Amino acid sequence: MKTIKLTQGREALVDDCDYAFLMQWKWYFSKRKRDGYAERTVAKPKQHIYMHRAVAARKGLEGKIDHKDRYRLNNQRPNLRQATGRQNQGNRYANSRKTSKFKGVCWNKQRDKWRTQCKTELKRLLLDFPGTRRGEIEAAYAYDVAALKFGEFACINRVGHLLDSRTKRRIRQDVIRQLPEN
Protein backbone atom coordinates (compact mmCIF):
# COMPACT_ATOMS: atom_id res chain seq x y z
CA MET A 1 0.00 0.00 0.00
CA LYS A 2 1.16 3.51 -0.86
CA THR A 3 -0.23 6.97 -0.25
CA ILE A 4 -0.70 9.77 -2.75
CA LYS A 5 -0.61 13.30 -1.35
CA LEU A 6 -3.64 15.43 -2.18
CA THR A 7 -4.45 19.07 -1.49
CA GLN A 8 -5.80 20.24 1.88
CA GLY A 9 -3.38 17.92 3.71
CA ARG A 10 -5.24 14.77 2.64
CA GLU A 11 -3.83 11.48 1.36
CA ALA A 12 -5.34 8.75 -0.77
CA LEU A 13 -4.51 5.08 -0.24
CA VAL A 14 -3.70 2.97 -3.31
CA ASP A 15 -2.16 -0.41 -4.09
CA ASP A 16 1.47 -0.64 -5.16
CA CYS A 17 0.47 -1.84 -8.64
CA ASP A 18 -1.57 1.36 -9.29
CA TYR A 19 0.82 3.87 -7.73
CA ALA A 20 3.06 4.58 -10.76
CA PHE A 21 0.06 4.82 -13.09
CA LEU A 22 -1.74 7.32 -10.84
CA MET A 23 1.37 9.43 -10.20
CA GLN A 24 1.31 10.57 -13.85
CA TRP A 25 -1.17 13.25 -12.77
CA LYS A 26 -1.67 15.78 -10.00
CA TRP A 27 -4.56 14.70 -7.78
CA TYR A 28 -6.46 16.96 -5.42
CA PHE A 29 -9.01 16.57 -2.65
CA SER A 30 -12.46 17.61 -3.82
CA LYS A 31 -15.03 18.44 -1.16
CA ARG A 32 -17.84 18.72 -3.72
CA LYS A 33 -19.41 15.71 -2.08
CA ARG A 34 -20.01 15.17 1.65
CA ASP A 35 -16.76 13.38 2.51
CA GLY A 36 -14.80 14.28 -0.59
CA TYR A 37 -12.96 12.30 -3.24
CA ALA A 38 -9.51 12.23 -4.81
CA GLU A 39 -9.88 13.65 -8.31
CA ARG A 40 -8.12 15.39 -11.16
CA THR A 41 -9.37 17.67 -13.92
CA VAL A 42 -8.96 17.26 -17.66
CA ALA A 43 -8.93 20.61 -19.45
CA LYS A 44 -10.53 19.92 -22.86
CA PRO A 45 -13.34 19.09 -22.57
CA LYS A 46 -13.40 20.01 -18.91
CA GLN A 47 -14.26 16.95 -16.87
CA HIS A 48 -13.45 15.50 -13.46
CA ILE A 49 -11.74 12.12 -13.18
CA TYR A 50 -12.14 10.36 -9.84
CA MET A 51 -9.21 8.27 -8.61
CA HIS A 52 -11.44 5.41 -7.49
CA ARG A 53 -12.93 5.15 -10.99
CA ALA A 54 -9.46 5.07 -12.57
CA VAL A 55 -8.42 2.24 -10.24
CA ALA A 56 -11.72 0.41 -10.80
CA ALA A 57 -11.27 0.60 -14.58
CA ARG A 58 -7.80 -0.92 -14.25
CA LYS A 59 -9.38 -3.65 -12.12
CA GLY A 60 -12.01 -4.28 -14.84
CA LEU A 61 -15.01 -2.80 -13.02
CA GLU A 62 -17.60 -0.63 -14.76
CA GLY A 63 -20.63 1.43 -13.75
CA LYS A 64 -21.15 2.52 -10.16
CA ILE A 65 -18.25 1.84 -7.81
CA ASP A 66 -18.68 1.36 -4.07
CA HIS A 67 -16.05 1.76 -1.32
CA LYS A 68 -16.61 -1.22 1.01
CA ASP A 69 -15.35 0.65 4.07
CA ARG A 70 -17.17 3.87 3.04
CA TYR A 71 -13.86 5.80 3.21
CA ARG A 72 -13.69 7.59 -0.13
CA LEU A 73 -9.93 8.09 -0.06
CA ASN A 74 -9.21 4.37 0.33
CA ASN A 75 -8.78 3.44 -3.33
CA GLN A 76 -7.10 0.08 -2.82
CA ARG A 77 -8.40 -2.63 -5.14
CA PRO A 78 -9.88 -4.89 -2.42
CA ASN A 79 -11.90 -1.92 -1.11
CA LEU A 80 -13.57 -1.18 -4.46
CA ARG A 81 -16.49 -3.15 -5.85
CA GLN A 82 -19.08 -2.80 -8.56
CA ALA A 83 -22.55 -1.95 -7.29
CA THR A 84 -26.02 -1.07 -8.45
CA GLY A 85 -27.42 2.30 -7.44
CA ARG A 86 -29.57 0.66 -4.76
CA GLN A 87 -26.61 -1.28 -3.34
CA ASN A 88 -24.53 1.90 -3.29
CA GLN A 89 -27.31 3.69 -1.38
CA GLY A 90 -27.49 0.78 1.06
CA ASN A 91 -23.82 1.24 1.95
CA ARG A 92 -24.16 4.85 3.16
CA TYR A 93 -24.09 6.36 6.62
CA ALA A 94 -27.15 8.09 8.05
CA ASN A 95 -27.83 11.55 6.68
CA SER A 96 -26.70 14.05 9.31
CA ARG A 97 -29.50 16.49 8.41
CA LYS A 98 -32.31 14.13 9.39
CA THR A 99 -34.35 14.15 12.59
CA SER A 100 -32.75 10.95 13.88
CA LYS A 101 -29.09 10.04 14.16
CA PHE A 102 -29.93 6.53 12.95
CA LYS A 103 -30.01 5.46 9.34
CA GLY A 104 -33.49 4.76 7.97
CA VAL A 105 -35.29 6.45 10.88
CA CYS A 106 -37.20 9.73 10.77
CA TRP A 107 -39.71 11.59 12.89
CA ASN A 108 -43.30 11.52 11.62
CA LYS A 109 -44.69 14.75 13.05
CA GLN A 110 -48.27 14.11 11.87
CA ARG A 111 -48.43 10.99 14.04
CA ASP A 112 -45.86 11.92 16.74
CA LYS A 113 -44.02 8.67 16.12
CA TRP A 114 -40.69 7.39 14.87
CA ARG A 115 -40.85 5.77 11.45
CA THR A 116 -38.40 3.38 9.88
CA GLN A 117 -38.09 3.21 6.11
CA CYS A 118 -36.13 0.78 3.98
CA LYS A 119 -36.48 -0.12 0.32
CA THR A 120 -35.44 -3.53 -0.91
CA GLU A 121 -35.56 -4.71 -4.51
CA LEU A 122 -39.12 -5.96 -4.05
CA LYS A 123 -40.87 -3.87 -1.43
CA ARG A 124 -40.75 -0.82 0.81
CA LEU A 125 -40.79 -1.18 4.58
CA LEU A 126 -42.72 1.41 6.62
CA LEU A 127 -43.17 0.80 10.34
CA ASP A 128 -44.10 3.26 13.09
CA PHE A 129 -42.78 3.16 16.66
CA PRO A 130 -43.64 5.15 19.81
CA GLY A 131 -42.39 8.74 19.97
CA THR A 132 -39.87 7.99 22.71
CA ARG A 133 -36.10 7.46 22.76
CA ARG A 134 -36.74 3.71 23.02
CA GLY A 135 -39.09 3.95 20.03
CA GLU A 136 -36.30 5.55 18.00
CA ILE A 137 -33.96 2.68 18.91
CA GLU A 138 -36.64 0.11 18.02
CA ALA A 139 -37.12 1.82 14.65
CA ALA A 140 -33.35 1.70 14.07
CA TYR A 141 -33.31 -2.03 14.87
CA ALA A 142 -36.21 -2.62 12.45
CA TYR A 143 -34.19 -0.84 9.77
CA ASP A 144 -31.20 -3.08 10.55
CA VAL A 145 -33.30 -6.23 10.11
CA ALA A 146 -34.67 -5.01 6.77
CA ALA A 147 -31.31 -3.63 5.58
CA LEU A 148 -29.72 -7.06 5.84
CA LYS A 149 -31.59 -7.76 2.59
CA PHE A 150 -28.77 -5.70 1.01
CA GLY A 151 -26.38 -8.50 2.00
CA GLU A 152 -22.76 -7.38 1.95
CA PHE A 153 -23.86 -3.82 1.08
CA ALA A 154 -25.90 -3.34 4.26
CA CYS A 155 -24.85 -0.41 6.42
CA ILE A 156 -26.64 -0.96 9.71
CA ASN A 157 -27.07 1.00 12.93
CA ARG A 158 -25.93 -1.80 15.28
CA VAL A 159 -28.38 -1.08 18.10
CA GLY A 160 -29.48 -4.64 18.90
CA HIS A 161 -27.51 -4.67 22.15
CA LEU A 162 -29.76 -1.87 23.46
CA LEU A 163 -32.92 -4.00 23.27
CA ASP A 164 -34.07 -7.14 25.07
CA SER A 165 -34.51 -10.38 23.12
CA ARG A 166 -38.33 -10.31 23.36
CA THR A 167 -38.50 -6.85 21.75
CA LYS A 168 -36.04 -7.85 19.02
CA ARG A 169 -38.08 -10.99 18.23
CA ARG A 170 -41.30 -8.90 17.96
CA ILE A 171 -39.62 -6.38 15.64
CA ARG A 172 -38.12 -9.13 13.43
CA GLN A 173 -41.59 -10.68 13.08
CA ASP A 174 -43.10 -7.30 12.09
CA VAL A 175 -40.38 -6.74 9.50
CA ILE A 176 -40.69 -10.26 8.07
CA ARG A 177 -44.46 -9.79 7.84
CA GLN A 178 -43.93 -6.67 5.71
CA LEU A 179 -40.94 -7.93 3.74
CA PRO A 180 -41.47 -11.57 2.80
CA GLU A 181 -38.37 -13.57 1.84
CA ASN A 182 -39.19 -13.60 -1.88
Find the domain containing 111 and state its range: 87-178
Give the per-residue pLDDT at 181.
62
Residue 43 sits in the same domain as residue 12: yes
Domain boundary, last residue among 58, 82, 106: 82
Q: What is the pLDDT of residue 103?
A: 82
Amino acid 155: pLDDT: 78
CB atoms < 10 A from the CB of 26, how many?
11
113/172 same-domain check: yes
With beta carbons less than 8 A apart as the criterion, state whether 140 and 159 touch: yes
**Residues 98, 71: one domain?**
no
Question: What is the model's pLDDT at position 126?
Answer: 82
pLDDT value of position 166: 95
The DSSP element (H or E) to which 177 belongs, if any, is: helix 165-178
Question: Domain check: are 93 and 72 in the same one?
Answer: no
Show which of 82, 104, 134 is a domain's final residue: 82
End-to-end alpha carbon distance in the chain: 42
Q: Looking at the structure, tell me whether residues 11 and 56 fall in a common domain.
A: yes
Indicate the residue type of 18.
D
C-alpha closest to that of 135 among 165, 159, 169? 159
Examine the domain organization and report whether 92 and 170 are in the same domain: yes
pLDDT string in tens for the chain (182-residue length): 999 999 999 999 999 999 999 999 999 999 865 678 999 998 878 888 999 999 999 999 998 999 988 889 999 999 999 988 777 776 666 666 678 888 888 888 888 899 887 776 656 778 888 988 899 999 999 988 888 766 677 778 889 899 999 999 999 888 888 876 64
Number of domains within the chain = 2
| Distance set, CA 147 to CA 26, 87, 155 (Å) | 39, 10, 7
Measured CA to CA, the distance from residue 165 to residue 70 in angstroms comes to 30
* Residue that is last in its domain, among 82, 101, 131: 82
Cβ burial, residue 133 (10 Å; 0-12/13-18/19+): exposed
90 near 155, Cβ under 8 Å?
yes
Determine the Cα–Cα distance for residues 98 and 104; give it in Å rounded to an integer: 10
Q: What is the DSSP letter of 95?
A: P
Which spans in 107-151 are helix H?
133-147
